[in-house]
């Protein structure tokens, strides 16, 4: 049976992995909408290849280029943030949410509000709007399938179990490309060094997040909302081989883990086929060839991001949204050569310290207002002591 699918963030790394799976199962899927920010030519080529009904660029200034590239294909084109939200609100069987950053929040909420099934890779949306998003999921009867590899692993381990029997959920972290670097060396890490992830091939922003460990910080907050066992039952362990994607220990001291190749097509396939399974092109897991799985505690002195995330969960209110917004600004500044690597977490911490304790944002507009004001605060801190 053919199912309809909308892919938000089609031109990115998760977008490409999703479309690779769809390409191998063409009869199973009918693409409704594909979206990008401004990669118009790339988006048009994908829309034509997959016979999409609608292609949307969220940056409206890129719409003429999209129209040109779509030519006489008959595919509808649209541009701007409202058009992106409208695309996400169209009824489909599955929405893959693969936009990077809080920019993906409004379209994800639109998909949730129409009670859709959403494969959520866009962790920043959930971090910024945790409680509000989870409430909307239950209010509108939406289904949220965690696509982030750790959360997908936990989701699989929890299947058939009761949340009240969970003793501990442990997120694994590769530790990123700079895991073994000294504090002095970290200070001078370049963008090229930070994005050179040893196990995963990903977009630039999440690659930097992996190097700072903010990716694990964001995932901590993500797990806190997706699997409500309480902060004290959530842990992190460094596992450089990225073979175990996360694990759940139950009250009887039985631990279930999900293992697999470090390729996002595996968790994406688990969402696309859910509650069944589908083939992926990945080779079988060869543990004898891998040889060794190792584990270490996180070092929050060199990598303070997971501490900041834990503090943001404890502080509650708008702190997670502020943490996320400041991190987006800091990562962009680092990639642009404006700040040093170690300033990323420092800027997040300073932005949190200077932001007023605001109550938990209760609506999409309130979350977006917190996000905007935290971005302004982070930018003004950047201007005062950029390269320190
Ligand atoms: P990429 O940077 O590769 O792709 C991002 C996508 O979002 C592109 O299609 C891009 O369009 C679009 N986009 C960028 N900015 C905006 C905006 N302001 N408004 C609307 N669309 C926008 O990111 P990834 O695929 O690596 O990551 C996507 C999400 O998935 C992130 O939240 C990330 O944390 C999460 N994730 C990614 C993993 C991975 O392996 N890559 C693993 C686990 C989670 P354009 O090309 O036009 O810029
Ligand atoms: Mg992950």
Confidence of residue 387 (pLDDT cuts 50, 70, 90): very low
pLDDT tens-digit map of 146-201: 999 999 999 999 999 999 999 999 999 999 999 999 999 999 999 999 999 888 88
Ligand 1 atom closest to residue 38's alpha carbon, by position in its atom list: 47
Q: Taking 60 as the threshold, does the pLDDT of residue 276 lie above it?
A: yes
pLDDT confidence bin for 348, thresholds 50/70/90:
very high
Closest-CA residue, ligand 1 atom 18, reads: 103
Sort 31 into a burial class: Cβ within 10 Å, 0-12 / 13-18 / 19+: buried
Nearest CA to ligand 1 atom 39: 202
Q: Whose CA is nearest to atom 4 of ligand 1?
A: 12
25 secondary structure, DSSP code: T
Ligand nearest to the CA of 205: 1
Output phi, psi for 344, to 5 deg: -60, -55
Q: Which phi and psi angles does 207 have, rounded to 5°?
A: -65, -45
pLDDT at 322: 98
Q: What's the mean per-residue pLDDT of the chain? A: 96
Q: Is residue 145 over pLDDT 50? A: yes
Q: Can you tell me the distance from the alpha carbon of 329 to that of 348, in angstroms, rounded to the nearest whole number?
A: 9
Q: Which of 6, 10, 14 to mutate to test the pocket of ligand 1 (most atoms within 8 A of CB)?
A: 14
Average pLDDT over residues 96-116: 98
- Collect all residues with Cβ–Cβ distance below 8 Å to 43 and sequence separation of at least 6: 10, 11, 34, 35, 36, 55, 57, 66, 69
State the pLDDT at residue 200.
84
Q: How close is the Cα of 330 to the center of ligand 2, in Å?
A: 20
- Say whether pLDDT at 242 is over 50: yes
pLDDT of the residue at 197: 85
Residues β-bridged to residue 56: 35, 78
Structural domains in the chain plus CATH codes:
3-146 (3.40.50.720), 148-261+286-298 (no CATH), 316-381 (1.10.1740.10)
Beta bridge partners of 31: 5
pLDDT of residue 67: 98
| C-alpha 383 to ligand 2 mean position (Å) | 31
The pick from 203, 269, 332 for probing ligand 1's pocket by mutation, whose C-beta has the most ligand atoms within 8 angstroms, reads: 203
Mean pLDDT across 313-337: 97
The finding on whether 202 has its CB within 6 A of some atom of ligand 1 is yes
Mean pLDDT calculated for residue range 240-252: 98
273, with CB counted inside 10 A (0-12, 13-18, 19+), is middle
- Between CA 363 and CA 371 the distance in angstroms is 12
Query: To test the ligand 1 pocket, which listed residue (8, 98, 152) has its Cβ within 8 A of the most ligand atoms?
Result: 98
pTM score of the predicted model: 0.97
Between the CA of 182 and the centroid of ligand 1 the distance, in Å, is 30
CB of 118 shorter than 6 A to ligand 1: no
């Amino acid at each position: 049976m053919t199912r309809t699918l909308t892919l938000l963030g089609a031109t990115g790394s998760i977008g490409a992995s999703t479309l690779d799976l769809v390409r191998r199962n063409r009869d199973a899927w009918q693409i409704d909408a594909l979206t990008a920010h401004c990669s118009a030519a790339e988006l048009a080529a994908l829309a034509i290849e997959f016979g999409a009904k609608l292609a949307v660029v969220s940056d409206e200034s890129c719409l003429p280029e999209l129209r040109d590239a779509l030519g006489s294909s008959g595919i509808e084109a649209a541009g701007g943030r409202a058009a992106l939200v409208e695309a996400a609100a169209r009824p489909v069987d599955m929405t893959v949410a693969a936009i990077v950053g809080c920019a993906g929040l409004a379209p994800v909420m639109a998909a949730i509000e129409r009670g859709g099934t959403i494969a959520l890779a866009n962790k920043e949306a959930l971090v910024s709007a945790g409680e509000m998003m989870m409430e909307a999921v239950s209010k509108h009867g939406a289904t949220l399938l965690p696509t982030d590899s750790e959360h997908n692993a936990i989701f699989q381990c929890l299947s058939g179990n009761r949340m009240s029997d969970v003793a501990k959920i442990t997120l694994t972290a590769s530790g990123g490309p700079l895991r073994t670097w000294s504090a002095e060396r970290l200070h001078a890490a370049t963008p090229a060094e930070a994005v050179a992830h040893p196990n995963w091939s990903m977009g630039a922003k999440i690659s930097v997040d992996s190097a700072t460990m903010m990716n694990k910080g964001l995932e901590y907050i993500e797990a806190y909302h997706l699997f409500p066992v309480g902060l004290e039952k959530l842990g992190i362990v460094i596992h450089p081989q990225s073979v175990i994607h996360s694990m759940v220990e139950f009250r009887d001291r039985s631990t279930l883990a999900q293992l697999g190749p470090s390729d996002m097509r595996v968790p994406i396939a688990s969402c696309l086929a859910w509650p069944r399974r589908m083939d992926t092109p990945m080779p079988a897991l060869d543990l004898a060839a891998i040889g060794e799985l190792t584990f270490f505690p996180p070092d929050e002195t060199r990598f303070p991001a997971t501490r900041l995330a834990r503090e943001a969960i404890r502080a509650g209110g708008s702190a997670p949204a502020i943490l996320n917004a400041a991190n987006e600004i800091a990562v962009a500044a680092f990639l642009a050569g404006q700040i040093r690597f170690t300033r990323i977490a420092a800027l997040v911490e300073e932005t949190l310290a200077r932001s007023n304790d605001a109550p938990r944002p209760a609506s999409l507009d309130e979350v977006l207002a917190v996000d905007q004001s935290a971005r302004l605060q982070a930018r003004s801190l950047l201007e005062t002591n950029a390269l320190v």
